[in-house]
Structure 1
Amino acid sequence: MIDAVGNPQSLFILGGTSDIALATAEQYANQRPLRIVLAARPEEADLVEAAAERLRKTGSTVSTIEFEATDPETHGEVVEKAFADGDIDVTLVAFGVQLDNEKCWTDPAAARLTAEVNYVAPMSLGVHLANKLRKQGHGHLVMMASPAGERARRTNFVYGSAKGGIDLFYSGLTYALEGSGVKVTVVRPNFVKTKLTAGMKPAPMAQTPEQVGAAIIDAVRKGKESIWVPGQMRWVMVVLRHLPRVIFRRLSF
């Protein structure tokens, strides 16, 4: 279980090659070694094994599981494998895909893939995880959402629509799991310099994976239901949400 100062004994990462999730795991492991389970796509086997080796250098025990977001029939099995060696204290749902927006709104296959990976899969897994954690009676579930889900923007509305939906689902889990001993945190980071955003122009207040990881650890320790990273993004989005449509649509982002 998570100890009195907020350090977990076990960590499960769905999206085992995620820069943010691995930065979070490394910061946790530097505080004390723990049991870590990394779930990633079969084609990422080399990358996830390299990540596992990096984390093992902290003294942590690390195992890997093959995980395919677009195959919902296997999601329950993936969760069962992660919990096979004991309780899981903190679970990070940290996988996703961000394709070219112009392709996504004109190509049905690209739109469907965006929805399946960023919305359908994390919802499916959220149901499996919520059931498992309720039976366990404790644990913390962390979902990586995005400010892109707050309001439709010309440049990323397909990705944003999926992120907005999954933000709403996990925010609802905070209510549904109340009293079960299970906590949920929705994380909304601003632009983060990762593999997912490689080649994109960094937005103002861009973050590093380490900065987001530190914010996640703090949120779990304090039991926060949602956070913005950096915190100022909350107020930026308040303003953007209330801008008249005629002004908002002229913004070049």
Structure 2
Amino acid sequence: MLITICFSLLLSSVIATEKDSALPRLNDSKATEAFIDSAEVVVIGFLEDEESDTFKEFVAAAKRVDSVSFAICAVKEVWADYSVSSDTITLFRKADNHQENLGLAEAKEVKADGLVNFITINEVRYVTEYNQVTAVGLFNSEVKAHLLLFANRGTKEFTELRDKLQTLAPEFTGKFLFVLINGAVKSNFKSLGYFGLKTRDLPRVGIYDGDSDMKWLLPEGEITSERVREFCQSFLKGELKDVKQAGAAPKTEL
């Protein structure tokens, strides 16, 4: 009797685990909207055939990316709400109200590695840490104004200032991308130098405008949410155009 009970509990545990790991199915527009609104970045597989190799590769990719929520939608009436007409992997992000589509109709091969790469590149958040991978998504965004926090990871200021920006960033959705640059990483020294900064000068806050290739630093002093907000608003009002630019002569990238 005891063995039977133990086996039943074990079986129930396995079934529950399998059920919990299954990707949610979005069967109507309301559920899809709620899912998209549930996190900063989500990915939906608009996929018709759950027996296809593409579906299996999508599920495999989902298991490898813990930072993003995944779901499946096979209802074509819902697809139309997002201008999707054929099998597509779509990433939705709040930071710039962007929908990034990976159409699969013309793809020769769909593999989990490629899907993970697509998601990683486009995983732009309210505060995105800058590196060679995230730079692609940042510079491909239609939002060309970047609010930059230069700070050294491991310091008290790094965490405190990151949290301040995380709270402030939603106020500037579609106007700024908030970017965190770790000044303690050698690969970021070029970015610091572009603003005339060295690791010892940090933390500092700057603005880079990709449309005009111009850049400014928030004057030295305590970095508060109020000062950063006013700095962003000054840019949006065009008040920084007459302010001296930071660092060396303009270049084409950070």
TM range (shorter): under 0.3
TM-score, with structure 1 as normaliser: 0.25
TM-score normalised by the chain length of structure 2: 0.25
